[in-house]
């Protein structure tokens, strides 16, 4: 059984490498520096008096696909539909002269992805906003967290503009999806390779 499993994995790795779009991770434009620790990625950008960091984790970032839909439309010779990784991401804005960090929790709404043609709509939404003490690893549940569900639209729009002014806009979000998808695929191939050596190990 293990031999067959290892052989299957070898073939699978070959296939996945064939469809791998990026041999190295795509860059995010706008002067963002990328740090990757396993499945967590962090983008950092410094602008006058501020440091902006965007953190996301590729685990559980691929939305469940509607299996039934894809089966019918697929032509026999087509590849499986492309998986896209749309992770939640956290934007932190740190001003040099305050002890507080503004934290915005953003996500890609599932039904929004792939609706072209609506020029005005944002591809990501802000879910929660809070202040956290700068430099502390653990966020405090005792800090007030603003949930945007019941938020005044004008305030919400200002928050989106605030992010856009700092380089977190639709273009950024598109590039983040691209980066996350490449990272997810890279980690998946690495996982298959690790699994193969694990299975082969006697």
Q: Where are the domains of the chain?
A: 28-59+83-110+121-188
Give me 75's structure tokens.
Answer: 């032509």
Q: What is the mean pLDDT of residues 105-132?
A: 77
How far, in Å, CA of 66 to CA of 3, rounded?
33
Task: State residue 63's pLDDT score.
Answer: 81
Task: State residue 202's pLDDT score.
Answer: 65
Task: State residue 134's pLDDT score.
Answer: 80
> Quick one: CATH architecture of 28-59+83-110+121-188?
Roll (3.10)
Q: What is the mean pLDDT of residues 46-63?
A: 93
Helix, strand, coil percentages (3-state) for the chain, rounded to 5, are 35, 25, 40
Task: State residue 115's pLDDT score.
Answer: 47
Q: What is the pLDDT of residues 12-47, one digit of tens each?
A: 999 999 998 888 899 999 999 999 999 999 999 999
Does the pLDDT value for residue 52 go beyond 80?
yes
DSSP 51-113: EEEEEEE-TT-SPPP-HHHHHHH--TTPPPPPP-----EEEEEEETT-SEEEEEEEE--TTTT
Q: What is the pLDDT of residues 148-180, one digit of tens each?
A: 998 899 999 999 999 999 999 999 999 999 999
């Amino acid at each position: 059984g293990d031999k067959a499993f290892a052989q299957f994995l070898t073939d699978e790795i070959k296939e996945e490498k064939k469809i791998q779009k990026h041999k190295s991770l795509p860059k995010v434009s706008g002067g963002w520096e990328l740090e990757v620790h396993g499945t967590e990625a962090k983008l950092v950008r410094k602008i006058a008096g501020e440091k902006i960091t965007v953190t996301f984790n590729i685990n559980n970032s691929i939305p469940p696909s509607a299996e039934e839909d894809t089966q019918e439309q697929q032509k026999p010779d087509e590849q499986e539909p492309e998986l896209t990784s749309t992770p939640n991401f956290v934007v932190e804005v740190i001003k040099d002269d305050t002890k507080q960090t503004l934290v915005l929790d953003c996500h890609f709404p599932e039904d929004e992805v792939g609706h072209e043609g609506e020029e005005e709509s944002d591809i990501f939404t802000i879910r929660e906003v809070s202040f956290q003490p700068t430099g502390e690893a653990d966020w405090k549940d005792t800090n007030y967290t603003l949930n945007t569900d019941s938020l005044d639209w004008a305030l919400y729009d200002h928050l989106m503009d605030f992010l856009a002014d700092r380089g977190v806009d639709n273009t950024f979000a598109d590039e983040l999806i691209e980066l996350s998808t490449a990272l997810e695929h890279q980690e998946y191939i690495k996982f298959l390779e690790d699994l193969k050596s694990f299975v082969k190990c006697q």
